[in-house]
Chain A
Amino acid sequence: MNDLAALGLEAARSAGAGYADVRINRYRNQRLAAREDHLTAISDEESYGFGIRVLVKGTWGFAASSRVTREEVPRVAALAVATAKANLAGRGEAIRLVPVERYEDVWQTPFVKDPFDVPLDRKVELLLAINREALRVKGAKYCSSSLHFVREDKSLASTVGTQLSQTLIRCNPAYTVTAVDGATGRFATRSHDIPPAAYGYEYVEEAHLAEQAGRIAEEAVRKLRARPAASGRKDLVLHPSNLWLTIHESVGHPTELDRALGYEANFAGTSFATPEKLGKLRFGSSRVNFIADRILPGGLATVGYDDDGVKARRWHLVKDGLFVDYQTTREQARWIGQTSSKGCAHADSWASIPFQRMPNDSLLPGTAARSAEDLIAEVKDGIYIVGDGSYSIDQQRYNFQFSGQFFREIRDGKLGDPLRDLAYQSNTTEFWNACDGLGGPETWMTHGTFYDGKGEPGQVNAVSHASPVARFRGINVLSTERKL
C-alpha cells in the first residue's frame, strides 16, 4: 500500500473512525478548440490531491487537500474525523455499510493509444480539417470543433484492506456547424452525432470526423430551410443518438436510490419510482428492458471498481417492462433490504465526497434483426429524430421535453422532408409504455456525455447509454417556432 494512504488510514482510525478510505488521485485534462480556420485554445491541466472519508459512529466526515505530504495527510484525516463528530448530533439514522470483498487489483480502460501521447499537430490538423470540410458547404457559415481528453490515475485504500489502482481514459470529440440566413435573421445549428467514449485516441481516428463534416454542414443548411413542424400527436422513430438522452433523464436518474428516498430533494429533486413500486410498476411496454452496466465496453461510466471498492457489474433496472431494481452504493443497499452494493459510488475529484452516480444505463435491443427502415415502414404519420437537442425534465422525472439535431417527416412508411423547430413532450411511463418497436442488435449504439451533474456541491460524471433505434406511438409533438 502507498505509505501515505496507510498513514491516512491509521490517523483516521486512531482519531476514532470505524471505517476510512483514502483516495489519492491525479486527473489530466487536455482541451483543444478551433473555430473556422484557426485554433483558439490549447491547454493541458493536471490536478493531484487526496481525500479522506471516514465513518464515526455511523456519521460521515470528509476532508481533502492538494498538498500530498506526510505532514498534511494526518492533519486532513483528523479534520475528516472532527467533521464527522461535529455532525453526530444532527445526523439521522446511523449509516451501516453493507459488506464488500477485499480487493487488491490494478485496472485500466482498455485502450491502444493514450491520447496524451499522441502528437498535438495531429489533433490540431484534425480540428482544422473538420472545419474546412464543413465550411466547403454553401450556406454553412461557422464551424466550432473541439477535442477533450481525460486521464484519471486513481488509487483507493480502505480499512477493509482493499487496495486498488485504476487508470481511466476518455475522449470527447465535438463540432457544431451554423448556417445563417442574413436576410431573414434566421440561423440553424447542427452538432455531429459521434459520442464521447472511454477508448484511446484510436477511437477518434476511427470516427471519421472530418469525413462526415460535409454531411453535417449540409444538414445545418437543410435545417435552416426546412418546414416548421406542426404541433400534434405523432409516432416517433428515435435514433440511439437521440434516445440516449431520454434514457438518461427518464430512466437513469429516477432509478437512483438516493433520489427516490429524498437525499437529492433540495437539488435535482426526488423520483416517481419509489421503493414500494419495485416489482409492481409497469415502467414500459413488455419489450422494454433496461440494464445498469459498469462493464460496457467504451462506456464512460465503465470501471473496474467503484469508489467504495465494489467490483463493477451489470443488472436489470427494468425487466420485460417491470421496474425491478435501483442503482446503489454500500451505504444505500441496506435501505431497500439488499445485502450488497451495485457498485455506483463515484467522486469526480480527489476533493469530492463519493456518492451514488449513474452507471451506463442502457435499453436492450430487440431480438429480431429490425432496422430503422423496418420501424419507419409501419408509421403512417410520424417523425424520425437523430441527435440530441434541448432537454428538460421535472424534479420527479414525470414530465419531459426533448428536441433533437435533425428531424425528418415520416409519411406513409417513408422518410420525407426535413422539419425544424420541434420538441416532444411526454410523461416517463406513458412514453416507455408507448414503445412498440425496437431495432435489432445491429442498431444498438452507445452515446453519452462527459457532463452529467448531480449533488451538492455539484459533481460531474461521465456516463454512456446504449440503445437500439426505437418507435413510440402517439407522442405529443410541440412546435417551438415563435415570433418575438
Chain B
Amino acid sequence: MIPSAEALRAMASKILGLSGAGEALVRLGAERRGNTRFANNGITTAGSSEDLTVTVVSVFGKRHGAARTNVTDEASLARVVRRSEELARLSPADPEWLPVLPPQTYLKAEGLDSALGDLGPEARASRVIALTGRSNSKGLLSSGFFEHSSSATALASSASLFAYSARNEGSFSTTARTRDGAGSGWAGLDFGRLIDLDAERLGRLAMEKAARSASPKELPPGKYTVILEPQAVADLMGSLAFSLDARSADEGRSVFSRPGGGTRIGERMLSERVDLISDPTASGLAGSLFDEDGLPAQRITWFDRGALRHLLMSRYWAHKTANRPTGPMANLILPGGTDTVEEMIRTAERAVLVTRFWYIRFVDPQTLLLTGITRDGTFLVENGKIARAVSNFRFNESPITMLRNVEMISAPRQVAGGSIPMAMPAIRSRDFTFSSVSRAV
C-alpha cells in the first residue's frame, strides 16, 4: 500500500517540527514499482522495489539548501533537516528565491486504480506469456517491457501548504522482429488504468507490422509528404514541449524568441488546424497536479488554432515580468480533427507512413531543428495504398515546420514513452526532410 495523505501529512509535520530555519518545505515521495522484461519470446528479468524519499528545503532569507534521504528513522530525519540548514547557511543569497507557498487549491485527478496498483509478477508474466506464445507460433521474435508503479507525493511548507497526490501508472510496449532480422514492428501504450491495457492487441499490432515491414526497399532521401502515426507525432512533441519556456524566450535563446526582443506569443506559428493544450483532469492522462514548489497544474492552451498563446512561466519569471505562473505541464494533448489514417492513405498520391521515431536530439534550438530515425515500420504510400515497406530514414526537421505543413489530422489517442502523458493524433504533413537512408531494421 502506498501511504495515505494523512500518513504523509503526519510525517511531514513531524519533519517541519524539527526545522530551525526561517522557512522550510518538505517533499515526500513514496513509490512501489514492478516490471517484467522479455526478449526473443522469453521473459528475461523481472523485479520490484519500494522506496520512500524525504527532501527538506531550508531557507534563511534568500539563502536556501536542500537535502534528501531515504533513511527515515528519527535520527536520520533530524540529520537531513540539519544538513539542509547547513547547506542553506553556507549558500549565498539567491535573488531568484521566492518565499515558500501558502495553501493552494488543486484540481482533482482521476482516482487510483487498485487493479493496476495490486499487479504482481504472476499477473505480468501471464500477459507476457500469452504474447510470446503467439509470437512463437507465428515464427517471429518478440521482446518488450511491462512496468507499473504506485506512487504518492506530498508537499508541506512552514507556511501551512499541504499538497498530496497519488497515482498508478503503467506502460506496456513490444517489438516483434522477423527471425531473419529483415522486419520489425512496435506497439506500446502508457496507461493509468489496467482496463486500458490490451496487451494481446498491442502484440498483434507489432507482429503485423513486423511481417509487413520485412525486406524494405530504399527510397532516396529528400522532402516527402509524411503520414505520422500518433506515436511518431508524440516522439516529436517532447522536444517542442521542452522548449515552451517563457524565460528562455524572453532571453532571446529560444525558437519562441522574437527577433528584436520579446516572444512570439500571439504569432501564428503552426497550421490553424493545430491546438495544443494541457489538461490535468483529462481521463487516462494523469500527470503532476503540482510542481516541486506546490504550484498547481492548470488547464493551459499553448497553441490556439496555430497561434502561440502561452509559454511555461516559472514562479520567479512570472514575478519578474509581472505575469501569472502557469504551474507545471501536467500532460500534452493535441485535440486534432476528424480525419483517419485510412483516409490519409486513401487520398495520398505519394507519402511515407511512419510508425515512430527514435533517437531524437536537438540539432539547433533556434529553429527547433531535430534529428532522428524512423523505426519499426516505414512504408511508401502510392495512389491511395500502402505500396511497400521502405528502409528507415534519418530526418532533420523541425516540429514547427511539420505542424505548419499539416494537411490532415486525426483524433488523438494515448501514446507511450513520453516524459509526460500525451494524447496525439495522426498527422499528414508535406515537405518533411529525410536527409539520409539507414540500413537499420
Contact = CB atoms under 8 A, between A and B. Distances in A.
Contact of A66 (B52, B125, B358): B52
A40 B91 CA distance: 9
Given A393-B359, A399-B440, A403-B363, A60 B45 contact: yes
A60 B439 contact: no
B105 interface: no
Nearest to A350: B49
Given A38-B95, A93-B42, A392 B143 contact: no
A413 interface: no
Interface stretch (A164-172, A175-183, A314-322, A364-372): A175-183
A478 interface: yes
Interface string A239-273: 00000000000000000000001111111011010
B92 interface: yes
A120 B42 contact: no
Contact of A396 (B257, B400, B439): B439
Interface in A386-401: 390-399, 401
A480 interface: yes
Interface residues of A, number: 88
A482 B363 CA distance: 11
Nearest to A423: B363
B41 interface: yes
Contacts of A5: none
Contacts of A90: 38, 42-43, 125, 128-129, 132
B44 A263 contact: yes
B18 interface: no
B183 to A, nearest CB: 12
Contact of A44 (B43, B44, B67, B259): B67
Contacts of B437: 399
Interface residues of B, number: 97
A427 B391 CA distance: 15
B221 to A, nearest CB: 10
A402 B184 CA distance: 26
Contact of B96 (A40, A48, A67, A79): A40
A42 B66 contact: yes
Contact of A184 (B88, B121, B259): B259
Contact of B251 (A41, A121, A128, A180): A180
Q: Quick one: which of A42, A90, A427 has the most chain B CB within 10 A?
A: A90
A116 to B, nearest CB: 11
B335 interface: no
Interface in A433-480: 456-457, 476, 478, 480
A92, A263, A266, A269, most chain B CB atoms within 10 A: A266
B440 A87 contact: no
Nearest to A393: B359
A124 B143 contact: no
Interface string A29-70: 000000000111111111111010000000111111111000
Contacts of B33: 351, 457
A89 interface: yes
- Looking at B43, B46, B372, the one whose CB has the most chain A CB atoms below 10 A away is B46
Contacts of A264: 39
Contacts of B147: 456-457
A386 B373 CA distance: 25
Contacts of B122: 86
Interface stretch (B174-182, B280-288, B318-326, B343-351): B174-182
Nearest to B66: A43
A298 B386 CA distance: 53
B209 interface: no
Given A63-B49, A421-B364, A425-B394, A484 B255 contact: yes
Interface string B355-387: 000111111101101011101000000000000
A44 B67 CA distance: 5
A399 B439 contact: yes
Contacts of B121: 61, 82-83, 86-87
Contacts of A262: 39-40, 141, 143, 177
Nearest to B129: A90
B356 to A, nearest CB: 11
Contacts of A67: 50
Contact of A64 (B48, B358, B439): B48
A173 B132 CA distance: 46
A180 B361 CA distance: 22
A142 interface: yes
B38 A46 contact: no
A396 B45 CA distance: 23
Nearest to A400: B394
A483 interface: yes
A124 to B, nearest CB: 6
A295 B379 CA distance: 46
Contacts of B367: 482-484
A390 B441 contact: no
Given A399-B436, A480-B363, A265 B177 contact: yes
A337 interface: no
Given A266-B174, A403-B363, A63 B253 contact: no
Given A62-B46, A89-B129, A91-B42, A351 B96 contact: no
Contacts of A141: 251-252
A478 B144 CA distance: 35
B363 A46 contact: no
Contacts of B51: 47, 49, 65-66, 351
B94 A40 contact: yes
B205 to A, nearest CB: 14
Given A39-B92, A182-B252, A265-B177, A425 B125 contact: no
A41 B121 CA distance: 40
Which one of A93, A353, A394, A476 has the highest number of Cβ atoms from chain B below 10 Å of its Cβ? A394
B260 A185 contact: yes
Interface string A357-384: 0000000000000000000000000000
Contact of B373 (A86, A91, A399, A427): A399
Interface stretch (B68-76, B193-201, B211-219, B271-279): B68-76
B132 A182 contact: no
Given A42-B65, A49-B51, A120-B87, A390 B42 contact: no
Nearest to A45: B68
B48 A425 contact: no
Contacts of A149: none
The 7 lowest CB-CB distance pairs between A and B, nearest first, are: A92-B42, A185-B259, A62-B47, A396-B440, A399-B438, A351-B49, A394-B440
Interface of B: 33, 35-53, 64-71, 80, 83-84, 87-88, 90-96, 120-122, 124-125, 128-129, 132, 141, 143-145, 147, 173-175, 177, 181, 184, 186, 251-253, 255, 257-261, 269, 358-364, 366-367, 369, 371-373, 375, 392, 394, 396, 398, 400-401, 435-441
26 contacts: A38-B94, A39-B91, A39-B94, A42-B91, A44-B67, A61-B46, A61-B47, A64-B48, A90-B129, A120-B91, A185-B257, A185-B366, A187-B257, A262-B143, A272-B439, A351-B33, A351-B51, A392-B394, A394-B394, A399-B373, A399-B437, A421-B364, A427-B439, A478-B396, A482-B364, A484-B401
Interface of A: 38-49, 51, 59-67, 79-80, 82-84, 86-87, 89-93, 119-121, 124, 128, 141-142, 178, 180, 182-187, 189, 261-267, 269-270, 272, 351, 353, 355, 390-399, 401, 403, 421, 423, 425, 427, 456-457, 476, 478, 480-484
